Amino acid sequence: MLHSVMADLTKQELGVFEAKLRALKSELEAVLETSRDASAVVQLDQQSVGRLSRMDALQAQAMAQETERRRALDLRKIDAALVRIDEGEFGYCASCGDAVGRGRLELDPAAATCVAHAK
Instruction: Report if residue 117 touches Zn ion, rule: CB under 5 A.
Output: yes
Closest CA to 60 of 78, 79, 38, 28: 38
In the complex, least distance from residue 89 CB atom to Zn ion, rounded to whole angstroms: 13
**Does residue 99 bind Zn ion (CB under 5 A)?**
no
Nearer to Zn ion, 105 or 114 (CB): 114
Distance between CA atoms of 40 and 77, rounded to whole angstroms?
26
- Please give the Cα distance from 116 to 52 (Å, whole number): 47
Cα 24 from Cα 40, distance rounded (Å): 24
Q: Where does this chain touch Zn ion (CB under 5 A) — which range of 10-18, 37-45, 52-60, 110-118?
A: 110-118
Backbone angles phi, psi at 88, to 5 degrees: 75, 15
- By the 8 A CB rule, do 51 and 79 touch? no
Residues 67-96 that bind Zn ion (CB under 5 A): 93, 95-96
- Which part of the chain contacts Zn ion (CB under 5 A), choosing from 28-36, 64-72, 83-91, 106-114? 106-114
Under the binding rule (CB under 5 A), the answer on residue 43 touching Zn ion is no
CA distance 89 to 94: 9
Residue 118 makes contact with Zn ion by CB under 5 A? no
Pick 36 or 117: Cβ nearer Zn ion: 117
Judged by the rule CB under 5 A, the positions of this chain that interact with Zn ion are 93, 95-96, 114, 117
